[in-house]
């Protein structure tokens, strides 16, 4: 214990781990070490080099541009790491009495208030640990809402451009999904919605702007149609980075939305790390929220289990608290004005890239996009190449590839999302590289087909890797 304490003091800039003060006599003999631990003898420079070298083997947003569409891989301010490591946040226990964690509860409460006001909805849960779990939570609340009204509705409409988690959440929550086709502009086909939205249908799950980066200009008509037939409308909020401070989902008629704090609000993600997917709802869904929510009485914050028709808990304890601390820090730092600057910059950056590349790559839906845009590599087929080859070649230039082959409605899709935090220099370097790869496709297609050339591992056989999964630790 002494050793851990000393390392933590030196290595973590004064943030000490709580001391483990179990008197030796209380620790049963069987748990006590019989011999000293064999620890590797390495010097500080050796260990630093080891970890620095490991850290650059993989691509990450601190290394270079990461235009992975739909994922909003924005810069993570380092102050988020400072605040989320504060002892009063990092070293508390979920079972501590409320009066000893008032600061943490206040932070959760205020974060909830900020999020509600950003989308103009009435109530919120911070419990879900990701966007997908937020979807499941909200659609389960839809189910509870219709059960309470004794209405049996079986289906939920999901556009053909939707993220795969949408139909999955529909099934998981006990509904069946019906695919709603897009029209020629890549938007919801209102005629078809009119036909499909029957009394058997509980509602619609929509992403706005959608996964093509296009804003549903008929959104009010769409939500009106669903509401007129007694249904509810859910917003997959993964693309909120396009709307901040400009327009609010509550004003568009949405009844529920999930946030991806790890996308829009600058907390790290990728690699399956902790996320956070709060769900905000209109008043009519408030009685169904998961327990507990954070409430305030006078100046005291508390876990409120008094929710009449709660769907129950969806996550151990209260969600990923330290992700909330990071999102809260980001929001406090950005402020009201900064909020709309985020979306304006994200939209400008995306259009700059798409407009600069539309003569080199095929643009299936011409016109302006929101915070992300979708190109296609289908014209490269004549050269014996695919979008995947472009994506792999980009890695040779130290850039992460855009999302490829999604959304499914675009063949050979290249979905580019630069986010708000990139400079014009970075965007120009990416555009230049994409143009260079386009020239290489003509002049030396093999260079693309055999890419990547400079990464620690070359092109993987992904199908084989999935079919013959071998997970083992090499010793």
Ligand X SMILES: *Cc1c(COP(=O)(O)O)cnc(C)c1O
User: Applying CB under 6 A, which residues contact ligand X?
Assistant: 70, 130-132, 163, 165, 207, 211, 236, 238, 260, 275, 277
The residue among 135 and 422 lying less far from ligand X, judged by its C-beta, is: 135
Kind plus residue range of the DSSP H or E element containing 256 = strand 256-258
With the C-alpha atoms ordered 21, 25, 30, 34, is the resulting torsion angle positive or negative? positive
The residue among 125 and 451 lying less far from ligand X, judged by its C-beta, is: 125
The residue among 141 and 257 lying less far from ligand X, judged by its C-beta, is: 257
Closest separation between CB of residue 223 and ligand X, Å?
18
Closest residue to ligand X, Cβ-based? 131
Contacts 24+ apart (CB under 8 A), 282-287: 282/121, 282/122, 282/123, 282/250, 282/255, 282/256, 283/122, 283/123, 284/145, 284/255, 285/123, 285/138, 285/141, 285/142, 285/145, 285/232, 285/255, 285/256, 286/122, 286/123, 287/148
Closest separation between CB of residue 211 and ligand X, Å?
6
Closest separation between CB of residue 164 and ligand X, Å?
8
The residue among 207 and 315 lying less far from ligand X, judged by its C-beta, is: 207
With the C-alpha atoms ordered 429, 431, 432, 436, is the resulting torsion angle positive or negative? positive
Nearest alpha-carbon partner for 374 in 250, 254, 213, 203: 213
Q: Quote the radius of gyration of the chain (alpha carbons, Å).
A: 25
With the C-alpha atoms ordered 400, 402, 408, 410, is the resulting torsion angle positive or negative? negative
The residue among 135 and 286 lying less far from ligand X, judged by its C-beta, is: 135
Closest separation between CB of residue 300 and ligand X, Å?
32
Closest separation between CB of residue 386 and ligand X, Å?
23
Closest separation between CB of residue 268 and ligand X, Å?
13
The residue among 74 and 393 lying less far from ligand X, judged by its C-beta, is: 74
Closest separation between CB of residue 323 and ligand X, Å?
11
The residue among 277 and 292 lying less far from ligand X, judged by its C-beta, is: 277
Residue indicated by tokens 């990701």? 130
Contact 75, 421 (CB under 8 A): yes
């Amino acid at each position: 214990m002494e050793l851990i304490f000393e390392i933590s003091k030196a290595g973590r800039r004064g943030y000490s781990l709580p001391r483990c003060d179990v008197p030796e006599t209380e620790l049963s003999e069987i748990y006590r070490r019989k011999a000293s631990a064999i620890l590797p003898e390495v010097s500080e420079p050796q260990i630093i080099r080891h970890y620095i070298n490991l850290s650059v083997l993989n691509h990450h947003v601190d290394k270079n541009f990461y235009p992975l569409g739909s994922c909003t891989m924005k810069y993570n301010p380092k102050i988020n790491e400072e605040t989320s490591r504060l002892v009063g946040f990092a070293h508390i226990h979920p079972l501590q009495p409320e009066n000893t964690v008032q600061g943490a509860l206040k932070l959760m409460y205020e974060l909830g208030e900020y999020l509600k006001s950003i989308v103009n909805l009435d109530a919120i849960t911070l419990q879900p640990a990701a966007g997908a779990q937020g979807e499941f939570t909200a659609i389960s609340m839809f189910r509870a809402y219709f059960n309470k009204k004794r209405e049996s509705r079986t289906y939920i409409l999901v556009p053909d451009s939707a993220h795969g988690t949408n139909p999955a959440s529909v099934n998981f929550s006990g509904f069946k999904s019906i695919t709603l086709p897009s029209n020629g502009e890549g938007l919801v086909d209102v005629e078809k919605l009119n036909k499909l939205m029957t009394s058997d249908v509980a509602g619609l799950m929509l992403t706005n702007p959608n996964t093509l980066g296009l804003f549903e200009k008929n959104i009010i008509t769409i939500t009106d149609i669903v509401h007129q037939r007694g249904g509810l409308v859910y917003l997959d909020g993964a693309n909120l980075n396009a709307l901040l401070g400009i327009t609010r989902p509550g004003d568009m008629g949405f009844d529920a939305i999930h946030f991806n704090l790890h996308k829009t609000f600058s907390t790290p993600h990728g690699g399956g790390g902790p996320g956070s997917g709060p769900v905000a709802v209109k008043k009519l869904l408030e009685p169904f929220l998961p327990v507990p929510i954070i409430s305030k009485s006078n100046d005291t914050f508390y876990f409120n289990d008094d929710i009449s028709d709660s769907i129950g808990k969806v996550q151990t304890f209260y969600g990923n608290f330290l992700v909330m601390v990071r999102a809260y820090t980001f929001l406090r730092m950005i402020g009201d004005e900064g909020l709309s600057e985020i979306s304006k910059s994200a939209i400008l950056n995306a259009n700059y890239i798409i407009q600069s590349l539309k003569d080199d790559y095929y643009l299936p839906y011409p016109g302006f996009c929101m915070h992300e845009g979708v190109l296609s590599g289908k014209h490269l087929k004549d050269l014996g190449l695919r979008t995947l080859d472009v994506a792999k070649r980009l890695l040779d230039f130290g850039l992460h590839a855009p999302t490829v082959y999604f959304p499914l409605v675009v063949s050979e899709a290249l979905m580019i999302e630069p986010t708000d935090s990139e400079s014009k220099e970075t965007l120009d370097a990416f555009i230049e590289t994409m143009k260079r790869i386009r020239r290489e496709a003509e002049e030396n297609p093999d260079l693309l087909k055999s890419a990547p050339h400079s990464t620690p591992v070359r092109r993987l056989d992904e199908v084989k890797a999935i079919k013959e999964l071998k997970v083992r630790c090499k010793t």
